Chain A
């Protein structure tokens, strides 16, 4: 079963409203999670690194005031798209790093489809 869960899997919102996407690590603690955005038929682009208990690190060109990231616990990171516009419609995917004795493993969530109308 999934070890990283995203919710909702699909969401439709009106222009100008905000929408929150959750990313949970189900059976491990994740001090670091990552948020990606994928437009149709394109690759994944890293938006930001979510750090538990501290501010997220945003990639160049990503507006931190528009894409709010909160990593308030070791198992939950949230991405809030504020004042959404149709061009924000995309597939948003999170990942989490699970630390292990033999190395780290990355798990991806199931993804969240956002449609802004």
Chain B
């Protein structure tokens, strides 16, 4: 059974600081996704990582993937209040690219002014 774990579960950080969210998964996977969820809303796609060593950046967020370690990171640079949200990673079950996603536990990020 595929398991996806994130840490930390909760994160409070000051504006302007840097931090990293970690996503570990238990079995080989084709791809890894990062999503953002605001309270009461659905998911917003942030990144799709398709191969070992993949790195993608958008604004203050940067995601990377190490398939050998089964680890992905979401790095936040110089955090701003607008980044407060819950972040999920999700892993595609190894089923020939069938996007049957298993989600991580989520990291609730609060940026403090």
A: which residues have CB within 8 A of B? Answer: 32, 34, 41-46, 49, 93, 95, 97, 103-104, 106, 108-111, 113
CA distance A45 to B45 in the complex (A): 17
Residues of chain A within 8 A (CB-CB) of B102 are 46
Query: Of A42, A46, A93, A103, which one neighbours B42 at CB under 8 angstroms?
Result: A93
CA distance A97 to B108 in the complex (A): 27
CB atoms of B97 and A104 under 8 A apart: yes
State the Cβ distance, A105 to closest chain B Cβ, in Å. 8
CB atoms of B99 and A44 under 8 A apart: no
Query: Of B42, B88, B97, B100, which one neighbours A43 at CB under 8 angstroms?
Result: B88
Contact with A along B83-99 (1 / 0, CB 8 A): 00000101000000111
Please tell me the number of chain B residues within 8 Å of chain A, measured between CB atoms. Answer: 21
CB atoms of A104 and B43 under 8 A apart: no
Residues of chain A within 8 A (CB-CB) of B103 are 43-45
- Known contacts A43-B88, A93-B42, A111-B41; is A106 also within 8 Å of B101 by CB? yes
Instruction: Name A107's closest neighbour in chain B (CB-CB).
Output: B45
